[in-house]
Structure 1
Amino acid sequence: MESRPDPTTPLARRKSIVMKAKISRVITRPYLPSGEERIQKVIQRVLSLDENEADTVLETLLQNFSHRHRYFRETLEQNFARVADFVPDIDQVSKQRRLLIGTYFTAEYSVEAAALFNPSIVQVPNQEADPEGSCRFVMSFRATGEGHISSIEFRSGVIDTNNDIYFDGLSDYVATPEIHPNPSYDRHLFRLKLQEMGANNAVTHQLLNRLPDNFTFNDLQGKIAELQNNGQFPPQEQTDAIDMAMWLAQSNYEILFRKEHAISERVIFPVSESERKGIEDARFVRFVDNDGTAVYYATYTAYNGETILPQLIETRDFLSFKHITLNGAQVQGKGMALFPRKIGGNYVMLSRQDGENNTIMFSDNLHFWQQAQILQEPEFPYEFIQMGNSGSPIETPEGWLVVTHGVGPMRTYSLGIELLDLDDPTRIINRIEEPILVPNAYEREGYVPNVVYSCGALIHQDELIIPYASGDQRCGIATLQLPQLMARLTAR
């Protein structure tokens, strides 16, 4: 099954491209001091300023910060609205004073202050100006800032017919999306998830029975209010059930970026309570359904500071994104990677359930995964501690090409590669015994030393292109020539 070492091992070649974090890429976030009394005191202090002093302070703030953010005044108005209930005689407060109050409840956050790492890459439709024969791509990154909070960022570019890679210009601005005010839900999936959470009781049963097959967040809130008013269930039982239903609803949401935001400006920052400490290691894949339509999915790990929750992102245009909770007994681990099409009528996903082995799962429902089997256990020295995937498998005529990662001595992360059967991906055609990429002297240093890691690759012009992170801090690109690689993987 395995290839034995020889001098022709197709080790990946590094390109000179290095992508580093930029601490100047900042978003705005609401900043609310704890306690209503403290908020009221801040507002009173701002209101106590005379007009000239207030105008001077605001003018200085606008001069210092408005060039750093699109729609800065709009952001200040939104954050003023968050504390408007604490403002006395609000109708008498001028627009300028409202903006000034908004500045005291706004803070900047550097999304890349700590690191930019763990990239994935997908092909997207070419633009009219792209060279003929080129491949346009979107690359995603895990960006980490203050408090080790992770978010998703993007870059775009083209790979030309010579396989030279050109990135589009990096915007000076960074922006978070608008949250869809009234997302919709599938009642059947919602019920199954509540059952999995141990919250499918008489309260939630009656609540869901009052809702249509497809309902909105507003529908849910309305039926919860009706349930609370009739006093049918014991108060604590009812409160616990409603809290679980609301938690589930708020973990499934939709976001939308403005069209004028370049893709490098778009940041998916944690929204729900389940991911308040981070959105980790998104693995994007271009998924083609049976009818030929394409959609982009990404699996990621939501982290709230204590527990993880595997989630799914769905988008068709990288402007609007649906965040959906994954369900099932086998949706427990990290590093899930969806195959780019169904196999034998089923969705297929690689994952690591036990923190050690590479597993594979099949399901007839994208949102529910009940069974998994071990695909392989650590076999080679560079992966003796643990192994897993490094992104979604890539379809080739010879089989499914899978970039893997392994953890070996000195907790060194390296990348490996293998080939799975197209019709039966539980069958491993071959693996290359040596890692294809290991940390070099420069890459050993970083936030986490001795790590190279990837969340996805693509093929263009007979070349495997692997964006990867090193030291959990910066990113590069490595390549492998496909003919030589396949000669090794298909050798008997």
Structure 2
Amino acid sequence: MRLQVSRTNVRLSPDVRKVIPRFFNTGDERSRTLISRVLSLPEEEAKALLHQVQHEFSNRYSNIGLVFEKHFDLVKHYVPEKIMPVLSIEKKLLIGSYFTMEYSLEHAALFNPSIVEAPDQSDAGEGERNVIISFRATGEGHVSSLVFKQAKLNEKDGIQFGPSGKYLSEGRVTQKKRNEKGAFKELLSQTLLPVDIREDILSRLPDTFSYKEIEATLKTALHQLESGMAKNKLRYDILSLVNTTYELHFQSDSLLSERVIFPVTFTEKNGIEDARFIKFTAEDGSIKYMATYTAYDGSFILPHLIETRDFLHFKMSALHGKAAVNKNLALFPRMINGHYAMIARIDGVNNYIMFSDDLYLWETATLLQQPMYPWEFIQIGNAGSPIETTRGWLIITHGVGPMRKYCLGASLFDLNDPAKELGRLKYPLLMPEEDERHGYVPNVVYSCGSIIHGDKLFIPYAVSDYATSFATVPLEALLDEIMAAG
């Protein structure tokens, strides 16, 4: 008899009303022309127009004026020098409004969820647990960002969501560490970059430089290359050599559901995809929340890591090493035998296990699982980080079969030697039902992380790369079924 998987009646669909104000880049020549037109307006007409724009959009943002001011600062170099000293604040803000656009975060999809226990459990009653669920939100241009919801699990397998925020924020970006030109020169010499372009890049850089500075330098230095693909590949290879670490800081009075992690660096400009969050317990007992995610620049992908203790302040870093490739990297929630551990699908087909003494450097990988059953013949990968149970490491997997149908499976691995597979479910744990088969990518159920609550495994899952739903399965019955399969 098959396991009884219970689906909840909750389904979260994309909310097109969730928008953020983004910088609207019109290009150099158009920007100059646009600013010239605004400058030509009589002062009273400019004030009236600004008032109209603020009236129309102020209720959608906590301070739309600050947004306009920020975006004006990005284009003020187009304003003639003789005009800047006498330019009114109203015209500055009005110019900023012309370089602002609204971006609908979830216009296309809200999917690929991950779940962790929330840091604050103070208001959780008996049988309840506060959790944080992350989602991949996809909007215009298929650009993906990371959004959150606070929720409470109860003893009846239900889920209750906290309030949705009104004023979404991308947070304040900082970058503390700068790259050393000397060290970068040595790394650059190991690339296939033509000598003249390499020297041009180095001549433009200061002794220490930020990620933004190398981005701007490459835009100019690689301009002479004819092939767009070659240019993008070289840009990707060079940027993967430099420190891309940055931090995001949100206001402490903001709701979790108001915080948006939107792409910042070039390597992730087309998407922050599929975050797999864990509550990581260090060997000294301290707690940190971490998530691997895929950074996508439109052509290439690069594994990255998020670190936070409070979901207010986030550190984003690239992962490096020969084995830090492809998608589907998922950290174990603690060190094993003194090493960090990770599950990965580095060849796109099989599951691998990796160990490292350096959280940011992964050099070697060992084959862990290959497709075994027909519903996973195309590929097998993780559907979230390993979950520790008394009987072993439980890994929810995904398998791809005929018609590129995605199903969820489950495997168990030895606690002390997770390279040893103890058993694997012979049949899918969760597969698309009829009403789950339609979406952006049909015939898919997928997850980026589950959690044990009481005697059940609680599984958030994506519905055909469009929406998100939830299911539960008795934990012990699942482990018994896995072990019976051997």
What's the CA shift string for 1:30-87, capped at 9, x where partnerless? 112112x321211111111123321221111111111111221101011111111222
**Cross-structure match for 1:335:** 328
- Give 3-state SS (helix, strand or coil) of 2:33's partner: helix
> Structure 1 103/145 Cα, relative in aligned 2: closer, same or farther at 3 Å?
same
Is contact 1:465-1:478 (8 Å) kept?
yes
**Cross-structure match for 2:461:** 468
> Structure 1 135/345 Cα, relative in aligned 2: closer, same or farther at 3 Å?
same
1:270 and 2:251 aligned: no
What's the CA shift string for 1:262-296, capped at 9, x where partnerless? 11111111100111111111111111110001111
Is contact 2:424-2:483 (8 Å) kept?
no
**Cross-structure match for 1:118:** 112
TM-superposed deviation, 1:162: 3.4
Identity within the alignment, %: 44
**Cross-structure match for 2:5:** 12
Which amino acid letter does the alignment assign opposite residue 471 of structure 2? A
1:149 and 2:127 aligned: no
What's the CA shift string for 1:404-439, capped at 9, x where partnerless? 000001110000011110011111111110101000
Is contact 1:251-1:273 (8 Å) kept?
no
Q: Give the distance between the partners of 1:243 and 1:267, measured in 2 at CA.
A: 25
Q: Pairwise mapping of residues 350-429 of structure 1 onto structure 2 (< 5 A)?
A: 350-429=343-422
Is contact 1:183-1:216 (8 Å) kept?
no
Q: Pairwise mapping of residues 165-176 of structure 1 onto structure 2 (< 5 A)?
A: 165-176=159-170
What's the CA shift string for 1:161-217, capped at 9, x where partnerless? 33321110112332111111x412698xx87994897499999xx99xx99xxx995
Q: Pairwise mapping of residues 95-106 of structure 1 onto structure 2 (< 5 A)?
A: 95-106=89-100
Which amino acid letter does the alignment assign opposite residue 110 of structure 1? S
Is contact 1:443-1:450 (8 Å) kept?
yes
**Equivalent residue pairs, number:** 459
> Structure 1 196/130 Cα, relative in aligned 2: closer, same or farther at 3 Å?
farther
**Cross-structure match for 1:346:** 339
TM-superposed deviation, 1:95: 1.4
Q: What are structure 2's unaligned runs of at least 5 residues?
A: 218-233
> Structure 1 263/322 Cα, relative in aligned 2: closer, same or farther at 3 Å?
same
Q: Give the distance between the partners of 1:183 and 1:248, measured in 2 at CA.
A: 17
Q: Give the distance between the partners of 1:290 and 1:192, measured in 2 at CA.
A: 37
TM-superposed deviation, 1:460: 0.9
Q: Give the distance between the partners of 2:245 and 2:108, measured in 1 at CA.
A: 28
Larger mean CA deviation between 88-97 and 420-429 belongs to: 88-97
**Cross-structure match for 1:78:** 70
**Cross-structure match for 1:234:** none
- Give 3-state SS (helix, strand or coil) of 1:28's partner: strand
Q: Give the distance between the partners of 1:108 and 1:281, measured in 2 at CA.
A: 24
- Give 3-state SS (helix, strand or coil) of 2:330's partner: strand
> Structure 1 334/325 Cα, relative in aligned 2: closer, same or farther at 3 Å?
same
**Cross-structure match for 2:128:** 134
Is contact 1:30-1:79 (8 Å) kept?
yes
Is contact 1:217-1:249 (8 Å) kept?
no
What's the CA shift string for 1:220-266, capped at 9, x where partnerless? 99xx9xxxxxxxxxxxxxxxx99987775462211111112211111
TM-superposed deviation, 1:160: 2.5
- Give 3-state SS (helix, strand or coil) of 1:490's partner: helix
Q: Pairwise mapping of residues 18-417 of structure 1 onto structure 2 (< 5 A)?
A: 18-35=11-28, 37-88=29-80, 89-180=83-174, 182-184=175-177, 194=187, 198=191, 217=210, 248-249=241-242, 251-417=244-410
> Structure 1 191/397 Cα, relative in aligned 2: closer, same or farther at 3 Å?
farther
Is contact 1:250-1:272 (8 Å) kept?
no
Alpha carbon RMSD of aligned pairs, Å? Answer: 3.0
> Structure 1 445/245 Cα, relative in aligned 2: closer, same or farther at 3 Å?
closer
Which amino acid letter does the alignment assign opposite residue 335 of structure 1? N
TM-superposed deviation, 1:16: 0.7
TM-superposed deviation, 1:368: 1.0
Q: Give the distance between the partners of 1:385 and 1:490, measured in 2 at CA.
A: 24
Q: What are structure 1's unaligned runs of at least 5 residues?
A: 1-6, 225-240
**Cross-structure match for 2:449:** 456
Q: Give the distance between the partners of 1:193 and 1:456, measured in 2 at CA.
A: 40
Is contact 1:11-1:437 (8 Å) kept?
no
> Structure 1 318/18 Cα, relative in aligned 2: closer, same or farther at 3 Å?
same
Provide the TM-score with structure 1 as the length reference: 0.87
Provide the TM-score with structure 2 as the length reference: 0.88
Which amino acid letter does the alignment assign opposite residue 114 of structure 1? A
Higher relative contact order (CA 8 A, sep 6+): 1
- Give 3-state SS (helix, strand or coil) of 1:108's partner: strand
> Structure 1 195/477 Cα, relative in aligned 2: closer, same or farther at 3 Å?
farther
Is contact 2:32-2:78 (8 Å) kept?
yes
Which amino acid letter does the alignment assign opposite residue 45 of structure 1? R
Is contact 1:68-1:173 (8 Å) kept?
yes
- Give 3-state SS (helix, strand or coil) of 2:294's partner: strand
- Give 3-state SS (helix, strand or coil) of 2:429's partner: coil
